[in-house]
Amino acid sequence: MFYEDKTLESYDVLLVDVYGVIKGADGIIAGVESTLKKLVQSGKIVVILSNTTQKSGAAIASYERLGIKQNVHFHEVVTSGQVAYELITAGEIHFRSRPAPRKFMVLGTPRKELFVDSSYVESPITEADFFYISTPQLSEDEVARIPQNERKELFGSKLFAENRYDSLSIAPFLPQLKRMHELNLPALNANPDLIVLESDRLTNSARYVIRGGSIAQAYEQMGGEVLSIGKPHTLVFRYVLDLLASRHGIDIKSARMATIGDTLGTDILGALQASKEFHVSIDAILTLTGVSAASCNQAIINGGSRCDVEEELQRLFEREGITPDKVIASLGFQ
């Protein structure tokens, strides 16, 4: 099951996730910068494919601040936020329940960059046609309204020079979601990731906190309608394939491609679905960093033998019903 040295040499194109693969809570994962540089130097086309509400340009700037540079460590960046932005700008957001929506409201951090060049108008909840799932964080005023004994599900983080609070669960957002459901509002989600590892600057620790995918999942379980853009949904892979063909002259039908990610339900499932839907070869490679390290009961980072880790992974694959084509310990080991 494990593949270590030279696993990536046989591929022409690599689609690489960011959080948990390139970057951890404390910065770039050991060895990854060197691996990416070698891949680019050897002629591979490296595309960073990330679930984030950032547009691609903003994402590139954030990576470069960490020392990961375009045309040195990667060629292209495609974010779920960029794909969503282009659909929003083109007026192509449609829901079964609201075929031609025009008014939206924001749940979470009030970031509206994806809508700035569009005809969609922000409105109060009672006038909205849909709601946009931004980063699910709470303001200080919102936290103050939560009973003290329930605040253990929150921890503080600093965002955009403004105090906002990440959440360890969806509980603080359930009243808002119930209200949205009462109004029959569909949701737009531009980050299908369920969780992400974030650094808590107040306690100098790192914990998994919820992201848009957790909110979307909870809303769907209530019976709400959600349009999600990003991995594992194949629209974002279609965008990447078109980019590879138009900008790099890649024959996607014959190219040997692989997705490298740490999450079965987004990175791995997305690659498997895209391969089948578009009749292309995209191997799904799971790296045992980030979410997958936590998912297999810490076996690998607690020093378990390869056999221990493989047994834990097999149980994980059976439980999730998703099996990658290959497994590597870390992109930094390649």
Residue 57 parent element (H or E)? helix 56-65
pTM of the model: 0.92
What CA–CA distances, in Å, run from 180 to 106, 114, 124?
Answer: 11, 21, 12
What CA–CA distances, in Å, run from 148 to 120, 123, 143, 144, 145?
Answer: 37, 31, 9, 8, 9
The residue ranking higher by pLDDT, 132 or 196, is 132
Summarize the confidence of residues 221-227 as an average pLDDT.
98
Report the top-level CATH class of 93-228. alpha beta
The residue ranking higher by pLDDT, 333 or 224, is 224
Q: Does the structure show a pLDDT above 80 at 249?
A: yes
Summarize the confidence of residues 39-61 as an average pLDDT.
97
Look at residue 233 in the predicted model and tell me its pLDDT.
97
d(CA 73, CA 67): 9
Look at residue 140 in the predicted model and tell me its pLDDT.
82
Label residue 6 by pLDDT band (50, 70, 90).
Answer: low
Label residue 333 by pLDDT band (50, 70, 90).
Answer: confident
Look at residue 202 in the predicted model and tell me its pLDDT.
59
- Of 154-163, 183-192, 262-271, which gets the smallest average pLDDT? 154-163
d(CA 290, CA 19): 7
User: CB 6: neighbour CB atoms within 10 A?
Assistant: 8
Q: Report DSSP letters for 259-284, one per residue.
A: EEES-IIIIIHHHHHHHHHHT--EEE
d(CA 318, CA 315): 5
For the record, the structure tokens of 259 come out as: 């997705």
Q: Does the structure show a pLDDT above 50 at 267?
A: yes
Tell me if 7-83+232-333 shares its fold with 93-228. Answer: yes
Q: Does the structure show a pLDDT above 50 at 160?
A: no
Which residue from 196, 135, 186, 124 is spatially nearest to 165, judged by alpha carbons? 135
Summarize the confidence of residues 144-153 as an average pLDDT.
78
Label residue 157 by pLDDT band (50, 70, 90).
Answer: low
Report the share of the chain in percent with pLDDT over 70: 90
Sign of the four-CA dihedral 249, 328, 27, 167: positive
Look at residue 5 in the predicted model and tell me its pLDDT.
55
CB-CB contact of 196 with 50 (8 Å): no
d(CA 219, CA 182): 11
Residue in the block written with tokens 């960093």: 289
Q: What is the pLDDT of residues 82-139, one digit of tens each?
A: 999 999 999 999 999 999 999 999 999 998 999 999 999 999 999 999 999 999 998 8
- Domain layout of the chain by residue ranges: 7-83+232-333, 93-228
Phi, psi dihedrals of residue 218, rounded to the nearest 5° = -65, -40
Residue 228 parent element (H or E)? strand 226-228
What CA–CA distances, in Å, run from 117 to 113, 127, 178?
Answer: 8, 21, 30
β-strands 195-200, 205-210 pairing: antiparallel
Phi-psi region of 249 (alpha: psi -120 to 50; beta: other; left: phi over 0): left
d(CA 51, CA 60): 14
Q: Give the total residue count for the chain.
A: 334
| Strands in 90-146 per DSSP E | 103-107, 121-122, 130-133, 137-139
Q: Which CATH architecture has domain 7-83+232-333?
A: 3-Layer(aba) Sandwich (3.40)
Q: What is the pLDDT of residues 271-322, one digit of tens each?
A: 999 999 999 999 999 999 888 877 665 444 445 555 577 888 888 899 999 9
Q: What is the dihedral of CA 52, 58, 60, 65, to 10 degrees?
A: -110
